[in-house]
Structure 1
Amino acid sequence: MPRTSAEREVQSSDLAVRTQTGFIYVALAIILTLASGPSMVILLCVLAGISSGELFYMLRSDAKMPNAVFGIVAAVLYPVVVWLWGMEGAMALTLVFLFALLCWYVFSLEVRVSDVGISLFGALYCGMMLSSFIPVRYALGGFWGGLLVVLIFAGVWLNDAMAYLVGSRFGRHKMAPKISPKKSWEGFAAGLFASVVVWCFMTLVPGVTMGIPKAILFGILCGLAGVLGDLAESRIKRNTGVKDSGNIMPGHGGLLDRNDSMFAVAVVSAVLLLGTGCLG
């Protein structure tokens, strides 16, 4: 059914707000990532802390009782310990966090095992997964390491943007109607193409030893990881009955809404680039 003029005006206004908010977020992320390793760590700490807080808020709407204080603190600490001590630090933090949750469970009789589980999940999901960008940046170091991470960001952003633009304009075939009714296969294909294009540009970064065929494969895999992350958060929102994880980003919702794809892509890109010897 054709849209009315009022509906087109509302859609245009929503797109303008979404674009302005997205521009500010993208600009800050690029500046902090390129500036230095420590400034990128600060960026990741902020994203992890706010996103985990939004996640715990949504879970409370579903009659869950996560330990938000423990979870947010752990999520914020993950980028710091990975920066200082690598994956050994992340494992140590996970063990300390787990023992803290066990103490909370033992001495708080109203706490359920499921509450312990979602508290741990929130910190790992929003904190440890996001920290995977740190070893990628430091594998190259300096400006080029920061640029590589920015390009990974760009792959996620353009995937989301193209999926939204093409899906809203040409989307006819629903991809996951029971989880995210607005997503279409047309938008999915456009987003995947954008991800591949960005990954092909990564082959031009000094220190990256990755040919075009491998870049195409990695772009597809990271594009799929981004869609999985997006659908995972959509599933959480549908289960909890929450439309947006927050309202910190007008036109987008919360930071978790904006970065749900980023968590999975952080891990997959780190495994692909570091595990196959593409950086050095």
Structure 2
Amino acid sequence: MQRAENAENAQRSNLDEPDAEPSPLSPEPLRTTRTGEPKETKHRAQRVKEKAYEKTPERFKNASSFQVRLRTGIVYISLNIVCILASNFTTMIILAATAAVCAGEFYYMLRSDAKMPNEAIGVVGAAAFPVAVYFWGMRGIVVVTIGLLLAVTIWYVYWLRARMSDVGVCVFGAFYTGLQLSGLLVIRMSYLELDVANIWGGVLVLVIFASIWFNDAGAYVFGSKFGKHKLAPRTSPNKSWEGFIAGLLVSMAFWCILLVVPGVQISVWQCLLFGLICGLTSVLGDLCESRIKRSVGFKDSGTIMPGHGGLFDRCDSLMPTAVAAALLLFGFGCLPQPI
């Protein structure tokens, strides 16, 4: 009798115990639809990544993130060096293409923020600035500006869904990318008025490029080791005041290279001043793009550069620095006045 009671109590205790948790190694139960068919549980983004991985060449599948970034960076830097040193025409081509891609990525990000800019007008306007500067000089900027404003006005009048915010985004994107990058072409073409080899105009543009890269490198190296005070916690949490100051010092020192570039009438104090101002505009451009990406929830502006993100990510510091460098070099009489 006692054995029967013990068996009955054991059976009740087993019924009262909750079901054991499944082992983490056990396969996930197959989900089915109402009709009994198996239900696909993979997210759409995961399926896209798997398809892209299948199409990726074998030599890139096992490449580390650093290797991918390195290869992309080598191609990007080499292409810019060749085009900028070759001639004014190739410089115009590379700047127009860069402006068009950056403008497209800019509009793509803003569309996710319920903005509806006319991407066709904006991209064409951005690419038209360097082209117009090449053919008509500084007057080309006026021509493109008038044409851009007229095109946007006509679009706003006849497309009733357009809002003033869409018009502002459309115009701002073209000016922020195409107009600012045109400053580099103005500097490159200024050597037509000098009795020196035209290649030195390309060298001067590359010095501006390199000053931005050295500024970023100095800020990253010093800030990663000694950075304690955040520069812009909400916009760019990884930047520190220590790295920011180190980057400015590196930029100021690097701009002294202009003392040996033929055709540039510049003094030491001007090199230091220009390096300081261009270092500030470089960081400002970086923070501006970070602010845009955070407001729309984007990590990268695009995917055109594997390992780096979008082209706008790589040119964010260059755009305001190009305008600042042009204004400083021409404003202080270091280069002949542009036509």
TM-score normalised by length of structure 1: 0.92
Q: Partner letter of residue 253 of structure 1?
A: G
What letter matches 1:195 in structure 2?
S
The alignment-based identity, stated in percent, is 52
Q: Hey, what's the Cα distance between the residues in 1 that align with 2:147 and 2:261?
A: 38
Map of 1:198 onto structure 2: 254
What do the CA deviations read for 1:199-240 (whole angstroms, capped 9, x no partner)? 100111011111111101100000001111111111111111
Partner of 1:125: 176
Partner of 1:98: 149
Aligned length: 269
1:163 aligns with 2:163: no
SS in 1 for 2:166: helix
Letter in 2 for 1:137: R
Structure 1 range deviating more: 123-132 or 250-259: 250-259
Give SS of 1:129's match.
helix
How far apart are residue 26 of structure 1 and its match? 1.3
Which residue of structure 2 lines up, in the alignment, with residue 9 of structure 1? Answer: none
Which residue of 106, 123, 128 maps to 1:72? 123
Deviations 1:158-197 (A, max 9, x none): 2122223333343222100111111112221222122112
Larger radius of gyration: 2
Deviation at 1:84, TM superposition (A): 0.8
Secondary structure of 1:250 counterpart: coil
Alpha-carbon distance in structure 2 between the residues aligned to 1:184 and 1:20: 28
Q: Would you tell me which structure has more helix in proportion to its own residues?
A: 1
Q: Paired residue for 1:30?
A: 81
- For 1:25-52, what per-residue CA distance to the aligned partner results, in whole angstroms no more than 9, with x for missing partners? 1121111100111001111011101100
The one-letter code of the counterpart of 1:175 is L
C-alpha displacement at 1:15, in angstroms?
A: 4.3
- Structure-1 separation of matches of 2:111 and 2:224: 31
For structure 1, which runs of at least 5 residues remain unmatched after alignment?
1-12
SS class of match (2:238): strand
Pairing 1:134–2:185 present: yes
Shift of 1:16: 4.4
Alpha-carbon distance in structure 1 between the residues aligned to 2:225 and 2:117? 39
Q: How does 1:1-280 map to 2 (within 5 A)?
A: 13-141=64-192, 142-280=198-336
Instruction: Give the 3-state SS of the residue equivalent to 1:207 in structure 2.
Output: coil
Separation (CA, whole Å) in 2 of partners of 1:16 and 1:171? 27
Structure 1, residues 125-147: CA drift from partner, whole Å, max 9, x if none? Answer: 00011001112112124111110
Aligned-pair Cα RMSD in Å: 1.5
Q: SS at the partner of 2:136?
A: helix
Q: CA deviation at 1:279?
A: 1.8
* In structure 1, distance between residues paired with 2:243 and 2:284: 14
Structure 2: gaps of 5 or more residues? 1-63, 193-197
Structure 2 length normalisation: TM-score?
Answer: 0.76
- Residue 14 of structure 1: how far off its partner (Å): 4.1
Bigger mean CA offset, 163-172 vs 204-213: 163-172
Q: Report deviation, 1:96.
A: 1.0
Q: 1:249 to 1:187 in 2, by over 3 A?
A: farther
Provide the rounded CA distance (Å) in 2 between the counterparts of 1:198 and 1:145: 17
Residues 165, 226 of structure 1: alpha-carbon distance in 2 compared, 3 angstrom cutoff:
same
Cα distance in 1 for partners of 2:320, 2:297 equals 23
Rounded to whole Å, the distance in 1 between the matches of 2:252 and 2:68 is 27
**How many angstroms apart in 2 are the aligned matches of 1:223 and 1:22?**
21
